Amino acid sequence: MTKKIVVVGGGVGGVASSLMLADEIRSNRLDAEVLLVSKSEHHYMPPLWLDVAVDGLDVEKTRAPLRGVEYYGVKTLIDEVVSIDLAEREIATRSGRRISYDYLLIALGTVNGWSEYPGLEEAGWHNYDPESARAFNRAIKTFRGGRIVVLVPELPHRCGIYPLEITTLLAHYYKVKGVKVDIKYVAPRSMLGYHPLDILGPDIGRLAREILEGYGVEVIVHKGLERVDPEKRVVVTKDAEIEYDMLVKVPPPRLPPLLRSPDFQLGDDKRFTRIRTPHFQHPEYDEVYLTGEHSMKPAGLGLAGVFVHFASIRAASMILEDLGSVYSLYDYPPVHCVAYIGNGGLIGSCEVTYDEGKGHYRWNDRCYVTLRGPMVKILKRTFYMSWLGRLRFPHAPKPSLRELGVEAHGG
């Protein structure tokens, strides 16, 4: 009987794992099929929203039709998953469909927890969704000078190097424009005691300090955010009050609603999901894998697309081995962080190893700069554009519900 692999989430983890699974199923003639379920008809590349905010990149260039994966043999269903019955191996969608699975891979990312801190939702600018990136772009272009505060409320957050990127991009932009700004980089120490600039290791931290000092940026390490006052334009932490003329904010990560249940939620940190390392499996259900940003901290990894990508590929390789593929189990490789810095960029490489004794991956004490210069900015945007280009091919017609093996319930 044909094995059904259901992938929930149309981001980088869902797309990367779906494409790999479909390719190996086809190449090895395995009796299995892949269904990708997402509430969005688009596959977005969120790092490009920084280009929207700073450079005015057209939002249309940051996304591709999700159904482009059908060209490669992946079936798709544009619908929102509202519940998962782990015991019955079944998901339910917003439209009333129930879909059974033999394997389930969940890669839903995190949602922005603005409401966790009073005033944070109403204040400031960000580029963590397309429309907010557009609004941020207008704010950047019309800002006439003053104090800019780049605020990191808590750690970890999505894309560890983002605050350094946006800080240096703004510093360089206003320097070239001749606009006088005073920039404060405000962030907490990590729970492991890392200075916020050392999250990606001492080598990248040293370079970050040199760059920020060159732009005259002050780094303020706070002991916890309490609130933001949008009317007075003040950030209030446990140990300081910092006034601003422009606030740039990084979202606190929180679990998507679908995963906020004891079946999935991590007991001592409800921002994330429970998993069993090193294969990103559910602790009680071997056929269920969780590889989104919601699972990276429990695995010891960073909340970034590159970590999600390789986690999803590793999980997919486990499924393929169980199906009898000749594909070798995928070991977690070194990762590369490509970042915009000022008028150029840098590539940071991090060696990833698994610590059997502690039961998690290690990486942030083994990162170093491998390339720096203006060319990096071109390389970063080109890579993301090429990734999206894979999904812009003419693709197969949408499969019928019968072909999907989906039974509709209700009116």
For the chain, what is the radius of gyration of the CA atoms?
Answer: 22
- Half-sphere exposure of 403 toward its Cβ, with a 13 Å CA cutoff? 11
Q: Please state the φ and ψ torsions of residue 70, each to the nearest 5 degrees.
A: -65, -25
Separation CA 248–CA 242 (nearest Å)? 13
Residue 394: pLDDT band (50, 70, 90) is low
Residue 403: pLDDT band (50, 70, 90) is very low
What is the separation, in whole angstroms, between the first and last Cα of the chain? 30
DSSP H or E segment with residue 19: helix 12-28
- pTM for the whole thing? 0.93
**Tell me, what's the pLDDT at 328?**
65
Residue 379: pLDDT band (50, 70, 90) is very high
**Residue of 396 and 333 predicted with greater confidence:** 333
Separation CA 341–CA 303 (nearest Å)? 20
Partners of 37 in the β-ladder: 8, 77
Separation CA 243–CA 294 (nearest Å)? 33
Residue 240: pLDDT band (50, 70, 90) is very high
User: Comparing C-alpha atoms, which of 215, 207, 217, 208 is closest to residue 186?
Assistant: 217
Separation CA 358–CA 284 (nearest Å)? 20
Q: Which tokens in the block code for residue 134?
A: 């557009």
**Percent of the chain as helix, strand, coil, to the nearest 5:** 35, 30, 40
Q: Given a cut of 60, is residue 252 above it in pLDDT?
A: yes
pLDDT per position as a tens digit, 277-325: 999 999 999 999 999 999 999 999 999 999 999 999 999 999 999 999 8
Q: Which amino acid is at 300?
A: G
pLDDT per position as a tens digit, 19-53: 999 999 999 999 999 999 999 999 999 999 999 99
Complete domains list, the chain, with CATH: 3-110+255-330+384-405 (3.50.50.60), 113-251 (3.50.50.60)
**Tell me, what's the pLDDT at 409?**
39
* DSSP 8-state assignment for residue 230: T
Separation CA 65–CA 225 (nearest Å)? 38
Q: Work out whether strand 246-249 and strand 241-243 pair parallel, antiparallel, or are unpaired.
A: unpaired
Please tell me whether the peptide bond between 47 and the residue prior to it is cis, using omega within 30 degrees of 0.
no
Lowest model confidence (mean pLDDT) among 6-15, 37-46, 94-103, 374-383: 374-383
Q: Given a cut of 70, is residue 408 above it in pLDDT?
A: no
